[in-house]
C-alpha cells in the first residue's frame, strides 16, 4: 500500500475507532478497523507490507486511544507476519478460509493485547469478563466486516500492484 493511500486510510480508521465506534458498542464489542485493515492487507500482499502497516496502525491506535505506546503494534505484528506467510490469493479460492483467519487473527490480537497489558503494565484485568464481554463481540463484528474490507482493499491492491502476465 502506498504512503498516499495507507497513511490517510489508517488515520481515518484510527479516528473512527477511537472516537465514533466506542459509542456504537454492542454487548461491549466494536469493530477493530485497524485489525481488519492489517489482516486484509496482509492477506492480499506477498511483499510483507502488512508488517509495516501493522506497526504504523498500532502506533496510531495507541496514540489516539491513550493506551501505552507500542502495545497495539506488538499485538498486530505477529498476526501480520503469520498471515503474510500464507498464499496471497488464498481468499479468492474460498470464502470460509478468510473468515476463519479473521476469527483466529482477531481473537489472537485481543489475547496478545491483554497479555501485554497485564504483564508489561500491570494493568488490572479480568480475563473472563474481557474475553466474554469485549473480545467475542468484537471478533463477531470483525468477521462480518472482513469480506467487505477485503474486497475494497483488493481493488486498491490490484490497482497498485497490477498482475504481470507471462507470454
Q: Is residue 122 part of a domain?
A: yes
44 or 166, higher pLDDT: 44
Give the integer Cα–Cα distance in Å for 35 and 105. 8
Q: Is residue 130 part of a domain?
A: yes
Q: Is residue 90 part of a domain?
A: yes
Give the integer Cα–Cα distance in Å for 13 and 37. 9
Give the integer Cα–Cα distance in Å for 166 and 163. 10
Q: Is residue 117 part of a domain?
A: yes
Quote the domain boundaries for residue 121. 3-20+30-160
Q: Is residue 77 part of a domain?
A: yes
167 or 71, higher pLDDT: 71
84 or 149, higher pLDDT: 149
- pLDDT for the residue 108: 92
pTM of the predicted model over 0.75: yes
Q: Residue 26 forms beta bridges with which residues?
A: 29
Residue 119 CA: distances (Å) to CA of 71, 113, 157: 11, 10, 37
Lowest pLDDT segment from 5-19, 46-60, 121-135: 121-135
Q: Residue 29 forms beta bridges with which residues?
A: 26
Q: Is residue 166 part of a domain?
A: no
Question: 149 near 40, Cβ under 8 Å?
Answer: yes
Q: For the chain, what is the mean pLDDT?
A: 82
Residue 10 has pLDDT above 70, yes or no: yes
Q: Is residue 57 part of a domain?
A: yes
159 or 38, higher pLDDT: 38
How does pLDDT run across 72-126, given as a tens digit for each residue?
Answer: 888 999 888 888 777 555 555 677 887 888 898 899 998 998 888 888 877 777 7
Helix H, strand E, coil C: the string for the chain is: CCHHHHHHHHHHHHHHHHHHHHHHCECCECCCHHHHHHHHHHHHCCCCHHHHHHHHHHHHHHHHHCCCCCHHHHHHHHHHHHHHHCCCCHHHHCCHHHHHHHHHHHHHHHHHHHHHHHHHHCCCCCHHHHHHHHHHHHHHHHHHHHHHHHHHHHHHHHHHCCCCCCC
- pLDDT for the residue 165: 66
Residue 1 has pLDDT above 60, yes or no: no
The number of folded domains in the chain is 1
Q: Is residue 39 part of a domain?
A: yes
Residue 8 has pLDDT above 80, yes or no: yes
Amino acid at each position: 500500500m502506498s504512503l498516499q493511500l495507507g497513511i490517510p486510510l489508517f488515520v481515518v480508521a484510527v479516528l473512527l475507532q477511537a472516537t465514533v465506534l466506542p459509542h456504537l458498542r454492542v454487548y461491549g464489542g466494536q469493530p477493530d478497523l485497524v485489525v481488519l485493515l492489517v489482516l486484509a492487507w496482509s492477506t492480499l500482499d506477498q511483499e510483507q507490507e502488512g508488517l509495516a502497516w501493522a506497526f504504523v496502525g498500532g502506533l496510531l491506535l495507541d496514540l489516539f486511544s491513550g493506551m501505552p505506546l507500542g502495545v497495539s503494534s506488538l499485538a498486530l505484528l505477529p498476526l501480520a507476519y503469520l498471515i503474510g506467510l500464507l498464499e496471497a490469493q488464498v481468499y479468492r479460492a474460498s470464502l470460509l478460509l478468510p473468515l476463519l483467519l479473521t476469527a483466529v487473527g482477531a481473537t489472537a490480537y485481543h489475547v496478545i493485547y491483554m497479555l501485554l497489558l497485564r504483564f508489561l503494565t500491570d494493568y488490572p484485568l479480568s480475563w473472563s469478563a474481557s474475553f466474554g464481554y469485549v473480545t467475542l463481540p468484537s471478533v463477531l463484528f470483525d468477521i462480518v466486516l472482513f469480506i467487505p474490507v477485503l474486497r475494497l482493499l483488493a481493488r486498491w491492491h490490484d490497482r497498485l500492484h497490477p498482475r504481470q502476465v507471462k507470454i
